Amino acid sequence: MRGVARRIAAVALLALGCGGESDPAASSAAPDFTLPRLGGGEVALAELRGRPVVIDFWATWCAPCVHQIPVLNDFQERMGDKVVVLGVAVDARGAEVVEPFASEHGIAYSVLLGDEALAREYGAFGFPSLYVLGPDGHIEAAHVGIVSADELDRAVAVWVAGPDA
């Protein structure tokens, strides 16, 4: 019986890490943070109010996270200054492992050094976990697993649409 329970738990954890999108029924304020930026300086979430923010919690040991990087790089390039993209690395060894990984994989958006405690505050229990914050700082969408470019575009469309939209 124990083996069956373990298999069920393993399948549930796998499903959690493989993806799923949710739109919170009532948006909630994103947990605030100030984190060191890879390469120097800090980013304070409160200072980004007024623009939509995409926060991607990831780790160097997370295989699906590698597949998320090109999607976020492309999104950052297309959106420019309209949307802030932040990758929050949760690796316990910090810059020691994150810096070479980010360089090797060509991460073009801001990489912050966070931890799993902050990820849990957001409700991220699998990686990658992505959150879209509205300009008011509230979580408007959440996604566990690899997010597509179309999903990202739809999540921010209300804030980046042109005057003719």
Contact (Cβ atoms closer than 8 angstroms) between residue 66 and residue 102: no
pLDDT of residue 160: 86
pLDDT of residue 103: 98
Look at residue 165 and tell me if it is in a domain: no
Look at residue 76 and tell me if it is in a domain: yes
Q: Which domain holds residue 125?
A: 2-160
Look at residue 65 and tell me if it is in a domain: yes
In the predicted model, what is the mean pLDDT of residues 20-27?
46
CA 114 and chain centroid, separation: 12
Q: What is the pLDDT of residues 48-78, one digit of tens each?
A: 999 999 999 999 999 999 999 999 999 999 9
Look at residue 102 and tell me if it is in a domain: yes
pLDDT of residue 74: 97
DSSP per position, 101-143: HHHHTT--SEEEE--HHHHHHHT--SSSEEEEE-TTSEEEEEE
SS3 133: strand
Q: What is the pLDDT of residues 132-150, one digit of tens each?
A: 999 999 999 999 999 999 9
Residue at 141: amino acid letter: A
Q: How many domains does the chain have?
A: 1
Degrees, nearest 5: CA angle 147-76-107: 80
Q: What CATH number has the domain bearing residue 108?
A: 3.40.30.10
Q: What is the pLDDT of residues 87-134, one digit of tens each?
A: 999 999 999 999 999 999 999 999 999 999 999 999 998 999 999 999
SS3 139: strand
